[in-house]
Copies of this chain bind each other. A is one copy, B any other.
Amino acid sequence: MPHGSILRELRQTKPFPSNREEAFVGILRTADMLRWRISEVLEPEGITLAQFNVLRILRGARETGLPTLEIGARLVEQAPGITRLIDRLELAGLVRRERPRADRRQVLCHIEKKGLALLSRLDTTVPQASEVLFAGLASAEIDQLITSLDAIRSVCAARCTSLRKQ
């Protein structure tokens, strides 16, 4: 069966002018669905995907903590509104902020016990969800997928970096 399921999904009849464009749309559409599915899992805990990612990043730096903008740089998806995102996490008691003496410009963020507890509740359900979603693909196929996406991002990054940092 040739691919073409996107055409059906979008109820279009014209074929894509090139497979690059089809892949382009396919990536956006798949990401949207994945984001949607994972949000379903996160909803009971009352956090968004971006907040979840921030918490996981902070868990990875539990002892030292991380400055605000460093968190932003590590986020999967860009988040210029990182300050206010962390405002909400702090308000919810999941995160703590502190201004270190060494460099008083920066603000170190630490995950709180409450945040760790929340993450540990998700540690089984989130991987479970991605297991299910990728069930239709063989392991080698997933590896190939990862490699292809990496290649796209490396081209993209080469043309982006100069602009991203201004």
Residue numbers of A with Cβ under 8 A of B are 3, 5-6, 9-12, 14, 17-38, 40, 60, 73-74, 76-78, 127, 130-137, 139, 141-157, 159-160, 163
Establish whether residues B36 and A130, one from each chain, have CB atoms under 8 Å apart when the complex forms: no
**Once the chains are docked, how many angstroms separate the CA of A131 from the CA of B154?**
14
B contact residues around A30 at 8 Å (CB): 27, 31, 149, 152-153, 156
Establish whether residues A29 and B76, one from each chain, have CB atoms under 8 Å apart when the complex forms: yes
Establish whether residues B152 and A136, one from each chain, have CB atoms under 8 Å apart when the complex forms: yes
Of B17, B19, B35, B135, the contact of A155 (CB 8 Å cutoff):
B135
B contact residues around A14 at 8 Å (CB): 60
- Of the candidates A35, A127, A147, A157, the one having the most CB atoms from chain B within 10 angstroms of its own CB is A147
B contact residues around A28 at 8 Å (CB): 31, 34-35, 76-77
Establish whether residues A23 and B142, one from each chain, have CB atoms under 8 Å apart when the complex forms: yes
Given the interface pairs A17-B127, A133-B24, A153-B9, the reply to whether A3 lies near B147 with Cβ below 8 Å is yes
| Smallest beta-carbon distance A164→chain B, Å | 9
Going nearest first, the 10 A-B pairs with the smallest beta carbon separation are A31-B31, A136-B151, A26-B149, A20-B134, A32-B77, A33-B156, A5-B150, A30-B149, A3-B146, A24-B130
**Once the chains are docked, how many angstroms separate the CA of A38 from the CA of B145?**
22
Residue of B nearest to A33 (CB): B156
| Smallest beta-carbon distance A104→chain B, Å | 24
| Smallest beta-carbon distance A166→chain B, Å | 14
B contact residues around A31 at 8 Å (CB): 27-28, 30-32
Establish whether residues A137 and B153, one from each chain, have CB atoms under 8 Å apart when the complex forms: no
